[in-house]
Structure 1
């Protein structure tokens, strides 16, 4: 195994550090479109519109699949528009959608608002943030991706409990108005200031691509014909699909387990802290070993977390479940952010990543919908968890078997 010396943090210039901080702000700003955020409104929205778990999960699935479809087409904009300009436009759309959420009065408008939240937040803004880190950073790529994801980690740590308390104190519509204000008045100005020029100095080219682009031959159409891409895809869909369904249906989960919802959300900092620590460690390993070597271990903690949900009823298991979720999510962020560059280069990384991101968004749609449908038919989440654990283990075994093929492709890419 060849080890690549990792550059010292002292080699980061102020401009590079500013760009990484901009990535962190962008991932924090995605929170209104993330399931961890929206799930805190699950109970109040179901009560407001008279929805069952299955029906609300189905509407959420419809909204998220719609956003994933839009992302397939819009994701390539990250190859043609400079990151700051594109990020600010997306954040403006997300702020406007938050205001729309505060005004929804009927189911069709609710679905439209959810679709836009998912498209702007979970989809496009996250896509732009991670594409910028993957494209513009080379020797620091793993750590740039890791640090940028700290924004979402911060949101996961602080917002679920804060939202639970704020909704009870001020009402859910007021909370959405506050969300729009925070995006427009705090986070957008920070992105404007931090993403000045390029991380290497000078201006970002009009089209946005980084210099010395690699993988010119790997256009999106060719990637779609690559069997390796399709072999990798199911495993990376596991975390957004499975993690999302448990968070989205947390009200059903805590009721079935006999837990208190406030106790459950109070442990979200365990998830956030685990994501932060494992993401940072994985970022260093990506820069040192290469992302592709870490793929077989990605899903093992998630599998163990699902088994814990299936077998343990005591509340002390909540932090253990969040630990498993956090390890997989934290390692997956820098690993999969870098794997696509290792396999396909940087020239068309925005268009390529949009395919993968659309698949992740689709998984986060199908998970809650499927789980809600099963709940309505008498199959509780803890029994479903056994099947989810088996899926994770099967995908981990598949990644281990694919290692020789992935290694050859990564080596070809490094010589391009």
Structure 2
């Protein structure tokens, strides 16, 4: 990417520009909240009622839209590699803004389609929401999150873990508080107004991206971590020779094991979050008590994330991989023992650990193992697996409840899957071309 068109010159900054990248990239991830489960779920009841869809129909539209977005994410990652972070992130925010505005008038759109076609049926708002959910999930949860996180990781190397500690903790706290903030917007401005207010706020994020987002530090005469480097071209060529393509990454066991444990977390936490009140009612908790489990879970997650990020600069990632597997096992056992008094504590601890390590492993693994040249394609493939898993989670949890009258039975599948990952990860060593 040429720096001549940039208004803000990274090499003119009085301090290392990577710190600005870390702050603006974190804000970019925050801006993806309208496309995340935490941002969408708050609108479920008022929107489904306005569109005259049942809960099952609305949830199914969400699943289909999310699945479609997961298929498109690998291609989006390749576009990121081709066009750079500024163009890709700015385009995703623009799509997110337009989609939020369309969501705010979705009943009007559905009504107009029925009027024009002369066909009035629930499938019209159903298909409309599939399209809107596809755009929300692709632009918000997918592309904006991926590009912002990858940008931060490209600007740091030996300090990658410590910088990710700042970013991931900030994101965890922001995501945890977002349902309360969005609910406030809905109460004050109605659900239509809430989406419009968020769209307006995202225009400021779009301006921030155009001004401050930058690709590789070498393109600006700088070097990761702010270290001096006289021969930038030589440094880039040396790293590029070690970087793996997506095809090469998919041929390594490490890619699949790390991506699968991340996908499992997305599956498990989305399924649990979507059905949190009904699920913990089996454990004898009230609605308020059920929702309150996210606070201690966030505390465990933040502590885990800070600790793991700081030590990740000095230890093998395989240690963190097995700690995440252990957390997944603890959470699955807690779900299996749902009617036991210890179940809630096991789920809080297990998901707190996996949530904290998710932010670390997802950010650090791909650039460390496979380099930065094809980072978009590789992380995009991993992200598509996570998004697909998050789409399936709510449905499989619901199916378990429908078929067996308890959510606990999904734990058998979870345990089998996690144990398989644990066995498969025994030889999930860094690829030979690892970039350290």
Q: Structure 1 length normalisation: TM-score? A: 0.83
1:211 equivalent in alignment to 2:229: no
The counterpart of 2:417, out of the listed 385, 391, 398, is 391
The answer to whether 1:356 aligns with 2:382 is yes
Q: What's the CA shift for 1:306?
A: 3.3
Q: Tell me the equivalent position of 1:341.
A: 367
- Kept in 2: contact 1:161–1:262 (CA 8 A): no
2:114 counterpart residue number: none
Give the Cα–Cα distance (whole angstroms) in 2 for the partners of residues 215 and 263 of structure 1: 53
Alpha-carbon distance in 2 for matches of 1:364, 1:55 = 17
Q: Distance in 2 between matches of 1:52 and 1:346?
A: 45
Distance in 2 (alpha carbons) for counterparts of 1:378 and 1:36: 27
- Residue equivalent to 2:64: 62
Contact 2:277 2:286 (8 Å CA) reproduced: no
5+ residue gaps, structure 2, are 1-13, 108-124, 223-232
Determine which of 182, 195, 209 is the counterpart of 2:213. 195
2:61/2:127 contact within 8 Å kept: no
CA distance change for structure 1 residues 56 and 194 in 2, over 3 Å: closer, same or farther? Answer: same
Give the direction of change, closer, same or farther, for the CA distance of 1:150–1:232 in structure 2 (3 Å limit).
Answer: closer
Task: Please give the per-residue CA displacement for 1:125-167, whole angstroms capped at 9, x wherever unaligned.
Answer: 1110122123232111222333223343132221123334544
**Residues 97, 116 of structure 1: 8 Å contact kept:** yes
Equivalents in 1 of 2:198, 2:344: separation in Å? 28
Of 229, 232, 237 in structure 1, the residue corresponding to residue 255 of structure 2 is 229
Q: CA deviation at 1:193?
A: 4.6
Matched, 1:119 2:142: no
**Aligned with 1:139: secondary structure?**
coil
SS in 1 for 2:312: helix
Partner Cα distance (1:365, 1:119) in 2: 12
Alignment partner of 2:278 out of 252, 257, 279: 252
Structure 2 partner of 1:5: none
Question: Residue by residue, what CA displacement relative to the aligned partner does 1:51-90 show, whole Å, maximum 9, x if unpaired?
Answer: 5554443322211111011111111122123323322221
**What is the total number of aligned residue pairs between the two structures?**
395
Residues 373-384 of structure 1 correspond to what in structure 2 (within 5 A)?
Answer: 373-384=399-410
Which residue of structure 1 lines up, in the alignment, with residue 195 of structure 2? 176
The aligned counterpart of 2:45 is 43
Distance 2:367 2:416 in 1: 29
Q: Does 1:30 align with 2:32?
A: yes
**CA–CA distance in 1 between the matches of 2:328 and 2:366?**
22
Cα RMSD, aligned residues only: 3.2
Structure of larger gyration radius: 2
8 Å CA contact 1:27–1:149 kept in 2: the answer is: no
Q: Tell me how far apart the structure 1 counterparts of residues 327 and 148 of structure 2 sit (CA, whole Å).
A: 26
Q: Decide whether the 8 Å contact of 2:71 with 2:384 is kept in 1.
A: yes
1:238 to 253, 264, 280: 264
Stretches of structure 1 lacking an aligned partner (at least 5 in a row):
1-11
Q: Does the C-alpha gap of structure 1 residues 135 and 201 become closer, same or farther in structure 2, counting only changes over 3 Å? A: closer
* SS of structure 1 residue aligned to 2:373: coil
What's the TM-score, normalizing by structure 2? 0.79
Q: CA deviation at 1:118?
A: 0.6
Give 1:75's aligned residue.
77
How far apart, CA to CA, are the structure 1 residues paired with 2:39 and 2:300?
18
How far does residue 312 in structure 1 lie from its aligned partner after superposition? 4.5
Distance 1:183 1:313, change over 3 A: farther
Q: CA deviation at 1:116?
A: 0.8
CA distance in 2, matches of 1:320, 1:43: 30
In structure 2, what is the Cα distance between the partners aligned to 1:170 and 1:266? 26
Measured after TM superposition, the shift of residue 391 of structure 1 is 2.7
- The structural deviation recorded for 1:232 is 4.0
Mapping of residues 266-345 of structure 1, within 5 Å:
266-312=292-338, 321-345=347-371
With over 3 angstroms needed to count, the CA separation of the structure-2 counterparts of 1:174 and 1:303, relative to structure 1, is farther
- Corresponding position of 1:15: 17
Q: Is the 8 A contact 1:304 1:389 kept in 2?
A: no
Contact persistence 1:60–1:368 (CA under 8 A)? no
Pick closer, same or farther for the CA change 1:292–1:300 going to 2, 3 Å: closer
Does the 8 Å CA contact 1:143/1:334 hold for their aligned counterparts?
no
Q: Tell me if the contact between 1:95 and 1:183 (Cα under 8 Å) persists in the aligned partners.
A: yes
- Misfit runs of 4+, over 6 Å: 314-317
Separation (CA, whole Å) in 2 of partners of 1:30 and 1:74: 16
